[in-house]
Amino acid sequence: NAEDIATRLAGGEKVSATELAELDRAFRDNAKSKEFSQTLLNGLGASGTMELTNRLSTLSHDGKNKGTFAGLQEGLANSLATATKNPDSAFYKKFRTDMQRVGVQEFDLDVASQKISVGVGHGQQVRGYQSLVTLMQEGNGYSGQFLKDLATDIRAAEDKKQGGNPDIWDLTGRFSGKEDGWFANDPLDGVLGIMAKDPETATSYLDPGPGGKNDNLSYLLTERDWDHVDTTRWQGKVQVTGDDTFDQDVRAGLGLALAAGATGNVAGAEGTEFGRHTAAQARVMHETVNLLDYGHVDGTFGEDKKEPRTGKADELLAGDEYASLRAPLSQALADYSPDVVETINGDAPGGRAGKADAYENGDESQIQNSRSSLIRMMRGVSEADDIQNFERIYHAQQGYMSEQLMDKDFPNATAALNEARKYGEVTGALNAVGGDVKMDVHDDKISEATDTRFYGYHIGGGMITNIPIVGDMSQRLVDISLNNWLAGVQAEEGSLAKEELNRSNDVAQDNIDRYFDRWSEERNLAPEIAEDAAGEAQQSYVSGRQTAYEALRSR
């Protein structure tokens, strides 16, 4: 009965309010029923399911009773999730095979056909995979295998190396923002966005593997054609095709999947304690940094060292087409603060120069990118009108270093001075990165803010999302480092603007003094130890800032 109502609805026939309510009830009452879901979808077939979801998409975004049709769309999506739970079932295998054919076929959808009122693009149709992913965005609970298989099949349809067509998803007009962003014109990016809600699946799909045999990450970051918007221009009275361009939400799903796959946390979720990562997560993060910075999985460690690769992550991420990666990657960098801090100060297994691969050690694995690559990544993700991405990284790294200073035992003054050296070096690098961001453009946002900053809080007073948490003692210490921290960063900006990179940063040095004074008080250490530690940190601060300037080619 549900199939009959759904079929008539998909075909544009008149369906009564009573029948719509009956279909909605059938979806709701049988949401977890494999028998119902598979029987319904078998009856509709893959093609009929695409026609139904397209009809529901139109009715739920245009006309009367939008809520009713949106509810039916959600019910259909959840039925799909239930029906595809078991990848070994006969239904699953048939549905996947059918979608491999139907997914590249064209279907009518009003939001696409009416996007352009006249000329090129008017009456355009959409592909089955675009409709399927649009449907799936309305549901939840999909199996990890289904998501990975779907991503694999979509890639096969578009990847030229696999016989696909890179322009298969191209449409005229933009499909982003509140009005049309619901339509998954880029189905692979849409699947990645759904996958990001299941970090374990995201990790599995993106993980290159111990031998680097899985090239999904490399394909997405360096090979894929992300320009799916056809353009036209007029030559006299003739309309001709122009170059393809990107939509405003380009790579949005990829960004979320990268953050989830590299950290094991859903992007934007509440922070957890500082820690290391699984080998698979570390591989995802390590290779992401190398691919964005050097365009190659092994970073600078290729066989041909006669022409060393030039890092460009800061420049790449500054582009509008990479804007959607910045916030998720800043969250990932914050989560990897132990690895980043130790790479900058030289404590990491791979040292400051890094190594070609991640350091694999079970759940205590680490990234081993070069110090300069990580600095360029921090600068790149901070390229935005809102400085929260930089704040997130700054707070997280200060939090981690404060935990180390509060938790470690210092058997002698030399040990304390060594830790102070590391703190100064990282803080110098951070402040130099912030100075390069040109924080002065945000003066109007911060003029009314209090001088007191608290760990985990945005400069305007709101919470910074997805930042690792620290204990109470570390919180008291890190709050000192965040008091008036922006002035120290802006002093670096002044040095950059005047090209006086070697002049002292009095504000930053004062902050370091106060920081180690509080540290000695909290740890009940002799005042002279605090004084010596501050002096050591100030010296290494200069080294850290110089390292950052060189990595960002600001000389």
Tens of pLDDT, residue by residue over 362-402, are 999 999 999 999 999 999 999 877 789 999 999 999 999 99
pLDDT computed for residue 75 by the predictor: 98
Query: Does 156 lie in the same domain as 69?
Result: yes
Query: Does 529 lie in the same domain as 400?
Result: yes
Question: 82 by DSSP, 3-state: which?
Answer: helix
What's the pLDDT band for 17 if we cut at 50, 70, 90?
A: very high
More confident residue, 122 or 342: 342
Query: Does 136 lie in the same domain as 124?
Result: yes
Question: Is residue 455 scored above 70 in pLDDT?
Answer: yes
Query: Does 406 lie in the same domain as 331?
Result: no
Average pLDDT, the chain: 91
The residue from 143, 176, 195 where one domain ends is 195
Average pLDDT over residues 29-45: 97
Query: Does 18 lie in the same domain as 119?
Result: yes
d(CA 377, CA 373): 6
Nearest in space to 405 (alpha carbons), one of 521, 483, 548, 535: 521
Average pLDDT over residues 509-520: 94
Query: Does 555 lie in the same domain as 409?
Result: yes
pLDDT computed for residue 302 by the predictor: 58
Query: Does 18 lie in the same domain as 93?
Result: yes
Residue 46 lies in a domain: yes
Question: Is residue 439 scored above 80 in pLDDT?
Answer: no
Residue 253 lies in a domain: no
Average pLDDT over residues 70-92: 97
Which domain range does residue 115 map to?
2-195
Residue 310 lies in a domain: yes
Residue 223 lies in a domain: no
pLDDT computed for residue 268 by the predictor: 87
Question: Is residue 450 scored above 60 in pLDDT?
Answer: no
Query: Does 531 lie in the same domain as 432?
Result: yes
Residue 476 lies in a domain: yes
Query: Does 401 lie in the same domain as 278?
Result: no
- Least confident interval from 84-93, 233-242, 326-335, 482-491: 233-242
Query: Does 63 lie in the same domain as 32?
Result: yes
- Kindly give, in sequence order, each residue whose CB lies less than 8 Å from that of residue 287, ignoring residues fewer than 6 positions away: 208, 217, 218, 297, 358
Nearest in space to 272 (alpha carbons), one of 283, 263, 282: 263
What's the pLDDT band for 442 if we cut at 50, 70, 90?
A: very low
Question: Is residue 452 scored above 60 in pLDDT?
Answer: no
More confident residue, 65 or 53: 53
Q: What type of residue sits at position 108? A: D
Query: Does 416 lie in the same domain as 339?
Result: no
Average pLDDT over residues 98-106: 98
Q: Report pLDDT digits (tens) over 303-354.
A: 555 566 789 999 999 999 999 999 999 999 999 999 999 999 999 999 999 9
The residue from 195, 230, 258 where one domain ends is 195
Residue 220 lies in a domain: no
According to DSSP, the β-strands at 229-230 and 171-172 are: parallel
Question: Is residue 555 scored above 60 in pLDDT?
Answer: no
Question: Is residue 553 scored above 90 in pLDDT?
Answer: no
Give me the count of residues in the chain: 555
The residue from 144, 164, 195 where one domain ends is 195
Residue 314 lies in a domain: yes
pLDDT computed for residue 449 by the predictor: 45
Question: Is residue 446 scored above 50 in pLDDT?
Answer: no
Q: What b/e sequence results for 461-486 when a residue is b if at least 16 CB atoms lie within 10 Å of its CB, and e otherwise?
A: eeebbbbbebeeebbbbbbbbbbbbb
Question: pTM here?
Answer: 0.94
Average pLDDT over residues 408-424: 92
pLDDT computed for residue 498 by the predictor: 63
Could you give the number of structural domains in the chain? 3
Query: Does 115 lie in the same domain as 89?
Result: yes
Nearest in space to 201 (alpha carbons), one of 88, 87, 295, 307: 87
Q: Report pLDDT digits (tens) over 286-296.
A: 999 999 999 98
